[in-house]
Amino acid sequence: MHGNWRDGNDFELLPEASRFLPAMFDAIEQARTSILIELYLMESGRLAAALIDALTRAAGRGVTVLLLLDGYGAMGLSRHDRERLQAGVALRFFNPLGLHSLARNLTRDHRKLVVIDGRLAFTGGFGVVDEFLDAWYEVAVRIQGPVVADWVHLFCRLWDSPLTRGDGAVDLVRGLSTATRVENGHRGMRGRVVWGRGYRYQTIRHSLHGRIAASRQRAWICTPYFAPTLGLCLRLARAARRGVDVRLLLPGKRHDHPGVRYAGQRFYGRLLKAGVHIHEFQPTFIHAKFSLVDDWVSLGSCNFDHWSLHWNLEANQEVDDRRFAEEVAMLFERHFAVSHEIEPQAWAKRPLLQRFREWLFGTLDGVLTRLK
């Protein structure tokens, strides 16, 4: 599912937490009417404490503050922190774990969103856990313009969902103001919001597939959990064979779920043979999720693994603008420069233990895919 393409937006790329966290906290401090936050991961720690302080201050000056967390992803949030949030913050949880179907428990809200006063939004792959302060590399985008209203609408629908529980009143999302006009100073960028909900609604995947199939110049993808569908692999290989510059930016050995890395590595051989370039990021664990195909960019919460595509609620910001695309291309190039490129000949000689890991975790990935 997706919103309409809208002109007259301004998108600012914010690579690294040192840029997007101060921008978000400054926006929260400047909020006058409403703050909407939707997150998958929120765990007690330095970052959570700072956010709770900022949100309770905003509530104290009369701002409507709505915080929507995933029922599983927020299990690391302490009772003390939850009680602190009660000082004026409306708190709801999507799909808390319960004694119902396995499929329902596996369905998680993986989206990441901050909206200020209905006029300014942030999305990306961020969460409120201390790893984002220094251990994980992440990217976000700052959004202004008519497309912000689509993000507000997306948030409101889930806040009012039958799967969402909590003390925050459902009707708080009714009548929220949005600034839908094109403001002076915006660079006139074209964008739309796309979202997915498990295996039934996979607009994010279909959008990427369509772009790769029609690509002429480049198709670059950064994802931390690369366990792709066969369809994505085939499209990447076909694009590379017809001369498109196809590159993957993936995590190296620093990974929070090494099994997912091994599962994805079973596709390396066929991709390398087709001419796809695979780069494994070395400085830290790269948790960012963004794609660049010609002059089109998609950035947000969605990983291209079976888990995201078959179970999670996801949302990305798409941008169709040459200027923004070149900013993203420069970011990719900087990351390629500090990555290890997998050479086809060396990969063909990888040891038996590596091949066994690929087989084992690839098999487990296949089992998870068939659970739906």
Q: Which residues have a catalytic role annotated?
A: 110, 112, 117, 287, 289, 294
297, 316 Cβ separation under 8 angstroms: no
Structure tokens at 110: 């993986």
- Quote the distance between the C-alpha of residue 251 and its chain's center: 15
Angle of helix 46-60 relative to helix 17-30, nearest 10 degrees, comes to 20
Structure tokens at 177: 């103001």
Report CA-CA distances (Å) from 227 to 267, 332, 357: 8, 20, 14
61 forms bridges with which residues in the sheet? none
90 forms bridges with which residues in the sheet? 66
Residue 272: which residues within 8 A CB-CB, separation 6 or more? Answer: 278, 342, 344, 347
